[in-house]
Structure 1
Amino acid sequence: MKKALLSIFTLLVSLQFSFAQNNEPMWLDIELANYKYPYPVSSLNLHIQNQDLKMAYMDIKPENYNGKNIVLLHGKNFNGAYWKTTIEALTKEGFRVIVPDQIGFGKSSKPDYFHYTFQQLAINTKTLLDTLRIEQTAILGHSMGGMLATRFALMYPQTTKKLILENPIGLEDWKLKVPYKPVEWWYKSELKKSYEGIKKYQLVSYYDNKWKPEYDQWVNLLAGWTLNSDYNSIAWNNALTYDMIFTQPVVYEFKNITAPTLLIIGTRDRTALGKPLVTEEVRKTMGLYNELGKKTQKEIPNSELVEIENVGHLPHIEKFESFIKPLIKFLKK
């Protein structure tokens, strides 16, 4: 009986994965049990904020390991799976790559209550590194992961060998322009999400209205959750992390970063939190990455800037070669 159930579950996972690859959003488990990541996934048990939680992660150590490590931190609308091509390129060069799903994201726990702070997520990440006995590593953060990577580098300068920020959000303080909305407002907004709405947002915000079939899989990962009867758990965690991003800027602390830093910026990016809440006039002043990249590079000591023209929020997806070449060059210094 157990073997039969296992076979059925395996078949369902295979079918779900197949549908996802065929650009059709399908029902997804809250912790993505029926979605296959590109590399084996392990879990770290954490007891934090008076509850037991699970932090999923991939740890890929190549046979030609060069003794150097790098942690890849995902953005808000993503999880560790979207680093597939980056992992392949880095491990080919001999780097050990650690890719966590933060609490509330991907295959990790979705708690009913949690005080989200970048400090807490940094502590969780450090706990993972301590468990893996990694004393020093490069830290790469994309989008929201860039804010977390910054916080990690500030909290653990001895651990952070190098810092890489790929189109990080938080290069400006949105509180100065956008009226505050409580968590309940974000929650209601999340509950309204659909495949069509998610794709439209990514099409306009990430890809300048130029869609490619390979982008569908990242829409499907979010849209598949909306089909789950427990989607309210995802929506609630998403609302809490929006509040974290809005209320915990890192922009004022860039000057305190001590690690050698590389900024990889797609200059077409216009991502900014709260644009629908401001006037068109104010909106035009937000998320100007063609300006923010240069400004941030001046703020961070010992930093370099690589600008990728005509690329939006996801250089490692939209124009991989332009992203990976300067990254590997920087890591090998």
Structure 2
Amino acid sequence: MRKKLLVLAIICLSGYYPQIQAQTIPAQDIMLTAYKYPYPVHFFKLLIQGEPLLMAFMDVQPAHPNGKTVVLLHGKNFCGAYWDSTAAGLSNNGYRVIIPDQVGFGKSSKPKHLQYSFQLLAQNTKALLDSLQIEKVAVLGHSMGGMLATRFALMYPQVTEKLILENPIGLEDWKVKVPYQSVDQWYKSELVQNYDKIKKYQLDSYYAGQWRPAYDKWASLQASWIHSPDYAQVAWNAALTYDMIFTQPVYYEFENIQAPTLLIIGQRDRTALGKASAPEEVRKTLGNYPELGKNAAKRIPHATLVPVEGVGHLPHIEAYTKFITPLLDFLKS
């Protein structure tokens, strides 16, 4: 009995959870129809490149409005649902919160063919806001959403009152350091994904080897498409958006951002697109968020940097209080 307890303790401390968990993840269809989001989901109709598409979004109305709106833009491996705690915190402080799933993600359409660009996603987001008659917003983007938030702020400075970047990717230009992968190569990689690979990537890249049970629902959600008959189309959209991220840097335009900007940077983060395919000597230099955050703060006018020690790629999940406190202070300033 003592030996069994020792083995169980080692498993828990190592962050490993039994394989059976991966086998019990329910398969989701292409629109995550059966997956319940934290707030009611609405759909905005778009016609893009000749194809009718749906953009899912949540519109969280505060009990005591302060007249301000915050738009939350999700990362590459996530959807709007992971903003649940952030939306609650903002709403409780009087903010209306708009949470879109970008086309290609979450409960939004996954087109068979689409030329993705950050400009297109920014236009879609602006069209959604126009339909809701929202003229001014603070824009918060995490990871890939940080690249999109930056592009939105550059395209619509008159709409963007404040910009918040939470561990954004794109603080360096990978295409000058990392070998290019074609869309077909990205697609092949996506087709062989599984729960264990997804969890290992998140464990290594996001959480520095420190896994908590609370993180599992986001890895499970990403893996829920894999056994669906729709997965090939989901994987194709994932490949197209990887190419968008790799080939469309915002890195060279930071000096043009007009909005007051808050950078919330988890200091343990080492995320970098294509890092695994880079030569070892280059790989060591990629994703150095402590330095990347400092450099971005120097280049972005009116920028404030909040380094979050001991935290990785997802401060709003890994260290909510350390994330929401500076965010609310910035929005109220």
TM interval, shorter chain, is over 0.9
The count of corresponding residues between Structure 1 and Structure 2 is 313
Q: Check whether the contact 1:271–1:313 (CA below 8 A) recurs between aligned residues.
A: yes
Deviation at 1:23, TM superposition (A): 9.9
CA distance in 2, matches of 1:71, 1:282: 35
Letter in 2 for 1:276: A
1:304 alignment partner in structure 2: 304
Are 2:73 and 1:73 equivalent residues in the alignment?
yes
Q: Check whether the contact 1:24–1:220 (CA below 8 A) recurs between aligned residues.
A: no
Deviations 1:91-112, CA, capped at 9 Å, x for gaps: 0000000000000000000000
Letter in 1 for 2:35: Y
Deviation at 1:24, TM superposition (A): 4.1
Q: Check whether the contact 2:110–2:234 (CA below 8 A) recurs between aligned residues.
A: yes
CA distance in 1, matches of 2:63, 2:296: 37
Deviation at 1:230, TM superposition (A): 1.6
SS at match of 2:225: helix
TM score, norm. by length of structure 2: 0.93
Deviation at 1:205, TM superposition (A): 0.7
CA distance in 1, matches of 2:283, 2:112: 33
Q: Check whether the contact 2:137–2:162 (CA below 8 A) recurs between aligned residues.
A: yes
SS at match of 1:112: coil
1:149 alignment partner in structure 2: 149
Are 2:26 and 1:31 equivalent residues in the alignment?
no
Deviation at 1:255, TM superposition (A): 0.2
Are 2:88 and 1:82 equivalent residues in the alignment?
no
2:256 alignment partner in structure 1: 256
Deviations 1:291-328, CA, capped at 9 Å, x for gaps: 00000000000010000001100000000000000000
Question: Which segments of 5 or more consecutive residues in structure 1 lack a partner in the other structure?
Answer: 1-20
CA distance in 1, matches of 2:152, 2:250: 11
Q: Check whether the contact 1:23–1:217 (CA below 8 A) recurs between aligned residues.
A: no
2:169 alignment partner in structure 1: 169
2:8 alignment partner in structure 1: none
1:99 alignment partner in structure 2: 99
Deviations 1:219-278, CA, capped at 9 Å, x for gaps: 111111001012000100000000000000000000000000000000110000111111
Q: Check whether the contact 2:267–2:311 (CA below 8 A) recurs between aligned residues.
A: yes
Q: Percent identity?
A: 64
TM score, norm. by length of structure 1: 0.93
CA distance in 1, matches of 2:278, 2:250: 22
SS at match of 1:30: coil
Shift in CA distance, 95/22, structure 1 to aligned 2, threshold 3 Å: farther
1:112 alignment partner in structure 2: 112
CA distance in 1, matches of 2:36, 2:98: 17
Deviation at 1:22, TM superposition (A): 11
Letter in 1 for 2:259: A
Q: Check whether the contact 1:306–1:326 (CA below 8 A) recurs between aligned residues.
A: yes
CA distance in 2, matches of 1:22, 1:184: 27
RMSD between superposed Cα atoms in Å: 1.2
Shift in CA distance, 170/197, structure 1 to aligned 2, threshold 3 Å: same
Deviations 1:178-215, CA, capped at 9 Å, x for gaps: 11111000000000100110011111111111111111
Are 2:234 and 1:214 equivalent residues in the alignment?
no
Letter in 1 for 2:306: V
1:194 alignment partner in structure 2: 194
Q: Check whether the contact 2:254–2:300 (CA below 8 A) recurs between aligned residues.
A: yes
1:291 alignment partner in structure 2: 291
Matches within 5 A, 1:52-67: 52-67=52-67
2:13 alignment partner in structure 1: none
Deviation at 1:63, TM superposition (A): 1.9
Q: Check whether the contact 2:55–2:102 (CA below 8 A) recurs between aligned residues.
A: yes
Q: Check whether the contact 2:22–2:220 (CA below 8 A) recurs between aligned residues.
A: no
Deviation at 1:57, TM superposition (A): 0.0
Shift in CA distance, 264/101, structure 1 to aligned 2, threshold 3 Å: same
Q: Check whether the contact 1:104–1:110 (CA below 8 A) recurs between aligned residues.
A: yes
1:245 alignment partner in structure 2: 245
Letter in 2 for 1:172: E
2:10 alignment partner in structure 1: none
Deviations 1:142-174, CA, capped at 9 Å, x for gaps: 000000000000000000000000000000000
Deviations 1:22-44, CA, capped at 9 Å, x for gaps: 99421111100000000000000
Question: Which segments of 5 or more consecutive residues in structure 2 lack a partner in the other structure?
Answer: 1-20
Q: Check whether the contact 1:65–1:94 (CA below 8 A) recurs between aligned residues.
A: yes
Letter in 1 for 2:116: Y
Q: Check whether the contact 2:22–2:195 (CA below 8 A) recurs between aligned residues.
A: no
Letter in 1 for 2:141: G
Q: Check whether the contact 1:191–1:235 (CA below 8 A) recurs between aligned residues.
A: yes
SS at match of 2:168: coil
2:180 alignment partner in structure 1: 180
1:269 alignment partner in structure 2: 269
